[in-house]
Amino acid sequence: MALLQISEPGQSTAPHQHRLAAGIDLGTTNSLVASVRSGVAETLSDAAGRQLLPSVVRYAAAQPPLVGQAALDAAVDDPLNTIASVKRLMGRGIEDVRHLGTQLPYEFVAGSSGMPLIHTAGGDVSPVQVSAQILTSLRERAEQTLGGELQGVVITVPAYFDEAQRQATKDAGRLAGLNVLRLLNEPTAAALAYGLDKGSEGVIAVYDLGGGTFDISILRLNKGVFEVLSTAGDTALGGDDMDRALAEWIMQQAAIRDDAGHSALRLLMREARTAKEALTTQARVSITVPGSDGSPWQGELTREQFAALAAPLVDRTLGPCRRALRDAGVRSADVAAVVMVGGSTRVPLVRERVAEFFKAQPKVDIDPDKVVAVGAAIQADILAGNKPDDETLLLDVIPLSLGLETMGGLVEKIIARNTTIPSARAQEFTTFRDGQTAMSLHVVQGERELVDACRSLAKFELRDIPPMVAGAARIRVTFQVDADGLLNVTAEELTTGARSSIEIKPSYGLSDSEIETMLKDSMAHAGDDRDARRLREEQVDADRVLEALRAALEADGDALLGQNERVRIDTAAQALAACRNGTDYRAIKAAIEALEAASSGFVEARMNNSIRAAMAGHRVDEFRS
C-alpha cells in the first residue's frame, strides 16, 4: 500500500487535482496577481492585457467603486474621491493620518475604534475597505483567467509592517472574500522567486524600495530552506518621496505657490513621476507644467540634478541596511547576492548606492515590479498542496519587538525583533494594590524604551483576579505570534489556576463583528446572500477536514487506532459527509466540531509520532518502506 508522508498532510489524494491558488502583491502604487500555471509562475493580465493594476479606487455617488487605471485617470479631476496610496493608511490611527495630512488630499473623519475613514462622494470608507476593493478586482481577474474559484491566496506585505498593518491587510483579504493562506513578507517572496530559479545557497540581501515603503532583509538559503535572519526598513519612504522632492523642485523653478489646488498638485506629482521614469534611460528630460499665471512653464532636468534631489532619500535606506546586517550577525562581505525589488530600484542612483554599499552588483534579472507577485504565487502553490514533494520552506521573523507597558510609561520587551516565527513568550506580572481584582495591559510594538515612542497595538483589561494582598497574585501573560506575524495575547492567574478571559480591542483595527457587518454591507457582496456565503465557507472547510482525515487514516489509522476509536471517528466522518451537501451551515459547522472532537486523540498521537520521527532524523515513511 502506498503510504503518505506524515509530514505532508496537505497532500492531495488525487494528485492531478490542481487547487487554484494565487499570489497577490498589494502595492502602494500598483498591485498584481500571479499564479503557477503548468509549473510556471506568471503574473496575470486584465482583459486589456495590462498586468499592473494601479492601486487606486474612485468612489462616486450612487455608483459602484471604480478600481485601477480608470480610477487613476480620474485622479487629477476628482482628487478627493479618488483614493491612491491607501497602503500608507493601513493599520494607522486617525492621529497618524493627521500627521500624514499635508501629503494627502483626502478628508478624514474618525470612525469607531479610532480608525480613520475617508469621506467620499460614495460614502465614508475605511482603508481596509479600499484595499478590499483592489483585492476583489484582482480576485475577479484571477478567477476569470484561471477559470474557477480561488481556493487560497498569499498576500504580500512589507517585511517592516507592524502587527496592526498586517492585521488590516488580512482583514481586507477576508472582506474581499479571499481565503488568505498566509501573509508573506515582500522581500521573502522576492528571494523565493529568485532562489528557486537559480538554486543559490548562502547569504543574500533583498533591497526593496517601492512606491511608499522601504525594506531590507537578510536571508540564508540552504537546501530549500529560506531563513530570514533579519529585517529592517522604513514604512514611510519610497519612490513617492522622490516624486515629491522633484515636484517641489518644479514648484520652486516655476514659482508655483504651495496653496495651488489639489488637482494642480496631483498634476505636478504626475509630471514629476514621468520625469523620474524618463531619467532611468535618458540623461536629461524636458518638463512642461502650467505655471502660476496659467501660461506653461518649461524647464530641463538632468539625471545628475535629479540624483542630487534623490540622494538624501536613497541614503536614508542605508541606515536600515547596516542595522539588518548587524542584527543578522553578518558583514557586507558575507552577502553573496543582492536582489532588487520595487519599481524605485530602477533609478540609476539607487543601483549605484546599493552596489557601493554591498560591494556586489545587484540582481535585476526579474522585473522588479513583478518579482514579489511571482514569489507569492510560488508560495501559494506550495501551501495549497499542489507540490507535495517540494522541500521549500520559509522561516520568517517579526520585524519589530513586542512588549507591554510597565510602570512609568516604560516598555518591557516580551518578544525581541528578528525572532523567528511562530514564537511564544510568557512573562509574569503581579498586583500592586491589596485586593486588586483587575489589571490593564497595554501591548505595544517598537524598539524604543518609552511607550509614547512605540506603536500602541491593543489595550485590554484582565478581570476577575481573586482579591489577594499586593504582590501575591501571579499573572502570566503569554504572547503568541503566528506564522503570519500576527499576535495573540492570553493571560492567566496562576495561584488560582483560573484563566481569565480578555477582550482585545485593537487600537486601530476592526473587531470581528465590524468585519462581519462590513461583509454584509459591502458592495463586493451586494446580491450575495450572507447565508449562502456562510454555507459555501463551511462546505469548503468540511471538505478540507474530511480530506485531511482521510489521508491521515490511510497513513496511520491501522497503526494507531483501536477498533472502538476507529468506529467513533468513521461515524463522525460519515455524519459530516452526509450533511455537507445539505443547506444548513450550522449543522455542517457542528458536524466538523464533532468530528474534530472524535479524532483529537488520533491527531495528537500522529503529531507525537511526527515530532519523534523528525527528532530521530527520519521521515515516518522511511520506517515503513
Partner 1 sequence: MAGVSSPSYFELFRLPQSFMVDRALLDSRFRELQRSMHPDRFINAGDLERRLSVQQATRINEGYQTLKDPLRRGRYLLELAGIDHNDEHRTTRDTHFLMEQMELREALSRVRAAADAVAALGEIMARIQTELDRLNGELAGLLDNADADDLAAAGEVLMKMQFYRRLQDEAVELEMDLEDEQTWPAGRD
* C-beta closer to partner 1: residue 59 or 479: 479
What binding mask, one character per residue, do residues 176-215 give for partner 1 by CB under 8 A, x or -? Answer: -----xx---------------------------------
State the nearest-atom distance from the C-beta of 315 to partner 1, in Å: 5
Separation between Cα atoms, residue 426 and residue 550, nearest integer Å: 36
480 binds partner 1 (CB under 8 A): yes
Give yes or no for a cis peptide into 506 (omega within 30° of 0): no
Question: What count of other Cβ atoms lies within 10 Å of the Cβ of residue 384?
Answer: 23
Task: Outline where DSSP puts E strands in 121-213.
Answer: 123-125, 152-157, 180-185, 202-209
The yes-or-no answer on residue 25 being catalytic is yes
Identified binder of partner 1 from the candidate list 145, 253, 280, 419, rule CB under 8 A: 419
Q: Cα-flanking dihedrals φ and ψ of residue 243, to 5°? A: -60, -40
Catalytic residue among 25, 163, 369, 556: 25
Catalytic residue among 78, 208, 234, 243: 208
Round the CA-based radius of gyration of the chain to a whole number and report it: 26
Task: Name the burial class of residue 416, with classes exposed (0-12), middle (13-18) and buried (19+) by CB atoms within 10 angstroms of its CB.
Answer: middle
Phi-psi region of 528 (alpha: psi -120 to 50; beta: other; left: phi over 0): beta
Identified binder of partner 1 from the candidate list 114, 290, 299, 601, rule CB under 8 A: 601
State the nearest-atom distance from the C-beta of 260 to partner 1, in Å: 29
384 binds partner 1 (CB under 8 A): yes
Query: Could you give the C-alpha distances from 12 to 18, 83, 234, 383, in angstroms and in order?
Result: 9, 42, 41, 12
Separation between Cα atoms, residue 201 and residue 198, nearest integer Å: 9
Stretch that binds partner 1, among 5-13, 67-75, 273-281, 503-511 (CB under 8 A): 5-13
* C-beta closer to partner 1: residue 10 or 348: 10
Residues from 147 through 176 that contact partner 1 (CB under 8 A): 152
State the nearest-atom distance from the C-beta of 10 to partner 1, in Å: 4
Stretch that binds partner 1, among 116-124, 160-168, 557-565, 597-605 (CB under 8 A): 597-605
Q: Which helix (H) or strand (E) segment is 597 a member of?
A: helix 585-598
Q: Which helix (H) or strand (E) segment is 293 a member of?
A: none
Task: Outline where DSSP puts E strands in 158-315.
Answer: 180-185, 202-209, 214-222, 225-234, 284-290, 296-302
393 binds partner 1 (CB under 8 A): yes
Q: Which helix (H) or strand (E) segment is 419 a member of?
A: none
605 binds partner 1 (CB under 8 A): yes
Interface size with partner 1, residues (CB under 8 A):
58
Stretch that binds partner 1, among 4-12, 45-53, 120-128, 131-139 (CB under 8 A): 4-12
The yes-or-no answer on residue 243 being catalytic is no
Contact of 444 with 456, CB cutoff 8 Å: yes
315 binds partner 1 (CB under 8 A): yes
Residues from 514 through 553 that contact partner 1 (CB under 8 A): 544-545, 547-549
* C-beta closer to partner 1: residue 567 or 614: 614
Identified binder of partner 1 from the candidate list 60, 424, 575, 587, rule CB under 8 A: 424
The yes-or-no answer on residue 87 being catalytic is yes
* C-beta closer to partner 1: residue 415 or 457: 415
Separation between Cα atoms, residue 417 and residue 36, nearest integer Å: 33
**DSSP string for 254-269:** TT--TT--HHHHHHHH
Three-class SS state of 399: coil
Residue listed under C-alpha cell 505657490? 257
323 binds partner 1 (CB under 8 A): yes
Max CA separation in the chain (angstroms): 90
Partnered with residue 302 across adjacent β-strands are 284
Identified binder of partner 1 from the candidate list 157, 267, 285, 394, rule CB under 8 A: 394
Query: Could you give the C-alpha distances from 77 to 62, 72, 86, in angstroms and in order?
Result: 18, 10, 19
619 binds partner 1 (CB under 8 A): yes
List, in order, residues 6 or more apart from 537 with CB less than 8 Å away.
585
Catalytic residue among 46, 87, 276, 492: 87
Residues from 353 through 382 that contact partner 1 (CB under 8 A): 382
Partnered with residue 429 across adjacent β-strands are 475
State the nearest-atom distance from the C-beta of 483 to partner 1, in Å: 4
Give yes or no for a cis peptide into 422 (omega within 30° of 0): yes
Q: Which of 174, 231, 227, 181 is nearest to 208 (CA)?
A: 231
Identified binder of partner 1 from the candidate list 470, 498, 532, 614, rule CB under 8 A: 614
Separation between Cα atoms, residue 298 and residue 222, nearest integer Å: 54
Residue listed under C-alpha cell 475597505? 129
Output the CA torsion sign for 550, 181, 133, 340.
negative
410 binds partner 1 (CB under 8 A): no
383 binds partner 1 (CB under 8 A): yes
State the nearest-atom distance from the C-beta of 161 to partner 1, in Å: 19
State the nearest-atom distance from the C-beta of 479 to partner 1, in Å: 11
Separation between Cα atoms, residue 508 and residue 611, nearest integer Å: 39
322 binds partner 1 (CB under 8 A): yes
The yes-or-no answer on residue 186 being catalytic is yes
Pairing of strands 202-209, 337-341: parallel
* C-beta closer to partner 1: residue 92 or 323: 323
222 binds partner 1 (CB under 8 A): yes
Catalytic residue among 46, 163, 186, 241: 186
557 binds partner 1 (CB under 8 A): no
319 binds partner 1 (CB under 8 A): yes
344 binds partner 1 (CB under 8 A): no
State the nearest-atom distance from the C-beta of 283 to partner 1, in Å: 27
Q: Give the residue numbers annotated as catalytic, written as ranges.
A: 25, 87, 186, 208
Q: Which residues sit at the interface with partner 1, rule CB under 8 A?
A: 7-10, 152, 181-182, 222-223, 225, 227, 312, 315, 318-319, 322-323, 326, 382-385, 391, 393-395, 419-424, 480, 482-483, 544-545, 547-549, 596, 599-601, 603-608, 610-611, 613-617, 619
